[in-house]
C-alpha cells in the first residue's frame, strides 16, 4: 500500500480512475482468491450466467472491453473448462457459454464476491457506494470518443 503522501490528488481524471480501479481490483482479487477466479474472470462468468450465452463481440460490448482483450481474458477460462466457445448462427461467430464446471466456479466465487461487496459498502457506506456505481455508469455511457469503439445509446 503506498504512503498517503504518495497519493496526492491528481488533476488527471484518467489517472485517478485507474488508481482507484487498480486499488479496488486488488481488494476484490484478494477476496476472490480462494475461488481461484480473478475479478476479470468473475465479471465474465457473472455476465454470461446472468444474460446467457453471448457472442464474443456482444460480451465485449457489454463489458466495455475490446474483443481482443476479452479473448485474452477468456483463455484461462477456456483452459480450465469453465466456458466454451460454440459456433454461432453465422459460422464465423463464436458464442461464449458456461460449462457445468463454470456454473460451479461461478457459485463459489459469487459467495466471495458478495463478501467483497458487503465490505466495500461497510467501508464507504451503502449510499456512497450506490452513488459511485451510478456515477461510473454515467461515465461509461457518456459521449466521450472511445477510439473507434462504437457505444450503444442507453
Domains of the chain, each with CATH number or no CATH: 26-118 (1.10.10.10)
Helix (H, G, I), strand (E, B) or coil at 126: helix
Q: Are 117 and 123 in contact (CB under 8 A)?
A: no
Q: Are 94 and 116 in contact (CB under 8 A)?
A: no
Q: Evaluate if residue 31 carries a pLDDT over 80.
A: yes
How high is the mean pLDDT of the chain? 90
Which letter, b or e, does each residue of 39-58 get, where b requires 16 or more Cβ atoms within 10 Å of its Cβ?
bbbbbbbebbeeeebbbbeb
Q: Evaluate if residue 40 carries a pLDDT over 90.
A: yes
Q: ∠ at Cα 42 (36, 45), nearest 5°?
A: 115
Which triple of cell numbers denotes residue 27? Answer: 481488494
Which pLDDT value is given to residue 5? Answer: 61
Which pLDDT value is given to residue 118? Answer: 97
Q: Evaluate if residue 154 carries a pLDDT over 50.
A: no
Burial class (CB in 10 A: 0-12, 13-18, 19+), 73: middle
Rounded CA separation 112/135 (Å): 25
Which pLDDT value is given to residue 124? Answer: 94
- Residue bearing cell 451510478: 134
Mean of pLDDT values over 117-143:
94
Highest mean pLDDT, choosing among 15-19, 44-48, 139-143, 147-151: 44-48
Q: What's the N-to-C CA distance of the chain in angstroms?
A: 37
Rounded CA separation 38/20 (Å): 17
Q: What is the pTM of this model?
A: 0.84
Q: Are 62 and 50 in contact (CB under 8 A)?
A: no
User: Between 148 and 86, whose confidence is greater?
Assistant: 86
Mean of pLDDT values over 60-73:
93
Rounded CA separation 26/151 (Å): 28
Amino acid at each position: 500500500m503506498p504512503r498517503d503522501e504518495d497519493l496526492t490528488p491528481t488533476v488527471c481524471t484518467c489517472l485517478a480512475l485507474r488508481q482507484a480501479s487498480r486499488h479496488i481490483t486488488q481488494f476484490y482479487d484478494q477476496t476472490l482468491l480462494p475461488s481461484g477466479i480473478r475479478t476479470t474472470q468473475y465479471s465474465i462468468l457473472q455476465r454470461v450466467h446472468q444474460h446467457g450465452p453471448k457472442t464474443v463481440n456482444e460480451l465485449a460490448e457489454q463489458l466495455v472491453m475490446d474483443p481482443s482483450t476479452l479473448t485474452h481474458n477468456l483463455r484461462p477460462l477456456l483452459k480450465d473448462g469453465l466456458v466454451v466457445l460454440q459456433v454461432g448462427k453465422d459460422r464465423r461467430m463464436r458464442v461464449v457459454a458456461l460449462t457445468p464446471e463454470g456454473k460451479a466456479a461461478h457459485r463459489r466465487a459469487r459467495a466471495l464476491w458478495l463478501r467483497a461487496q458487503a465490505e466495500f459498502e461497510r467501508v464507504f457506506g451503502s449510499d456512497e457506494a450506490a452513488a459511485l456505481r451510478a456515477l461510473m455508469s454515467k461515465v461509461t455511457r457518456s459521449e466521450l470518443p472511445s477510439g473507434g469503439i462504437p457505444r450503444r445509446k442507453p
